[in-house]
Amino acid sequence: MTDRSAEPRRAVPMKKPHGNATHGRSSTRLFRIWTGIRTRCNNPNCAAYPHYGARGIKIHPSWDNSFSEFANYIGEPPSKKHSVERIRNDMGYQPGNVRWATGKEQCRNTRRNIWLQWQGRDITVAEAAEIANIPYTAMYWRLVTAKWPIEEAMTTASGSIKPTFRPRAGGSPR
């Protein structure tokens, strides 16, 4: 029997558990969100690229190069219902312009929204419908299609027909 204690020990290289990842979080939801942002902003072959990268929406260089920096800034999502939202849609994913938001909150922060002034604050048609407690489609019809004044649209009961007839601009009614 030989005494192995006299033999020199050699180091056994350790394998990284997640390939090249150094943060060990590549299977997390936050990592998938980060890769989705990078893909939308950087990859012209991505279906969403025309709405992001082609419009000049970029990811902050330090976040683009480091998942850890992105994760340290934004933190974990508060719930499964939350995803990253850009506060100002014409700006990129950068410090001060991102937050966690629910789908409902994000729907109220899109380029497609119609914004109104009501009692000194900016609201969307969807918010106006909630405030007036009427269906969104009714509020949209009142404000956008029939062009009711906001005061009248907000205070007329649901299901009510506007008491005064005003022909549409440029012609007679259908």
Residues 159-173: what's their mean pLDDT? 55
> Which pLDDT belongs to residue 164?
52
Rounded distance, CA 144 to CA 146, Å? 6
- Read off the pLDDT band of 9 (50, 70, 90): low
- The average confidence (pLDDT) of the chain is 84
On the question of pLDDT at 2 being above 80, the answer is no
> Which pLDDT belongs to residue 107?
83
30: burial class by Cβ within 10 Å (0-12, 13-18, 19+)?
A: middle
> Which pLDDT belongs to residue 145?
93
On the question of pLDDT at 77 being above 90, the answer is yes
- Read off the pLDDT band of 165 (50, 70, 90): very low
Domain boundaries, the chain: 22-111, 113-174
Question: Per-residue pLDDT tens for 14-65?
Answer: 444 444 556 778 889 999 999 999 999 999 999 999 999 999 999 999 999 9
Residues 107-131: what's their mean pLDDT? 89
Question: Per-residue pLDDT tens for 134-151?
Answer: 999 999 999 999 999 999
Rounded distance, CA 38 to CA 75, Å? 17
> Which pLDDT belongs to residue 166?
53
Say whether pTM exceeds 0.85. no
